[in-house]
Structure 1
């Protein structure tokens, strides 16, 4: 196995670290500019950094920017829309539950990919895969239920938001990897960087139109909060750059599986930066989710 074939491992770890910082920054922004406004800043303020990265890659590598053709734009549009929905659902869940717990909900993403395969593609569900899904689901239920409490609407809502967020992030990963592979030419760095610029540009336009039509107050607030938003935009663009490079080197499943280390990173952020305690019950739930995802992946080899 060559060094280049292993490059996706450090790239993915760097993406997970940058994404943890971005998520924490966005979560703080929801308190001042709302969920939709905080969703928009990662794209609006990340887009200039993506263009800068594209210019630097073109300058350093001396390659032309590949022109979009074929299925590139449908993949970009699908991935961009799914990521917007995933981010909004993630931030909505984080307003009601611990940062690390919501991150763990989202990390049911590989499990949901398997379920999508059964429902949409008719992929077979082996006993090993079914066991993995069962263990991970048990972890989610354990984390969402408090001892002696009934699961009412208030407790169910953030759980549903978090799991749905993971589902849309899974669809986004598939869309973006499809777009990168659809580009006809260029190195993996150029194709991933060009795809990122198109994706963030598309997301910026979609959210500006939406906010301009339905929530101008949040749009104005996002412009006023430009200083913290710049940080979220930079971390978001940095994380996405690493994710996209990872998608260009290996399957989205490999990248998103290794990204489960983000659960541990998020727990550290909750304790040190957000002063949020993680209970033993939640720790056990996160362990079950990770174990379930591990069983799922082992069954697929």
Structure 2
């Protein structure tokens, strides 16, 4: 038996799937808004096709208004999940747009505004999602804060505390509230980063938190495995999200992502499939894993 090779027009070159052009110099105040970005990110609005792999699941996604979180929210909804997104009040505009895409997929979105630095708010997010959906099966701990640092001696204490509380405290608060409500077959997915393995000195505190999330993911997977709850992480490389122009490095944006073997930054849409896989029954024997989506940069 012989097989014909795939026609070249069926293959997509990953080096040119998305733009390799330099990003324009630009800057926003944190947390950044999508509509102010140039070019606009691709969250899979026109490209992601669902196959109902998450039919009936109930998901809470932090930072679900924009960037990777929006891509995951769209994908989960198109896979049949009910989706709640958590976001800051200043991100309402982005959250409303994400909600439209969730609705377009045939799912009623739950929008939860507030500050993840507040422990009581984290508990409320879980409680409100559980109440609205009648349960909680998927917890995506995705929200993060980062700022460029000029050196260890210049890190402002208040912003350092924000990085720690959003990136580390909130995942613990959320998981602590959610785990008692989750049944066997549920899944927790954290968003770590290549920074957790190959840290940049100008993101020292952010990188610290992402390395800690790797340990958190592996330790929680060991604890919850006997209960049938899987815990995994996605480790993105350079991805074009509002976090980037709001980091404080406008002069670095023209080269952003060009240090990867694929030669470009990734788009949020290119991570959605990783989260769907880890959330689905296709990954039933996957727990404690760190899935890199880095454009070829090694962990």
Per the normalisation by structure 2, the TM-score is 0.30
Higher helix share: 1
Q: Which has the higher contact order (CA 8 A, sep 6+)?
A: 1
TM-score by length of structure 1 reads: 0.29
Task: Indicate the structure with greater strand content.
Answer: 2
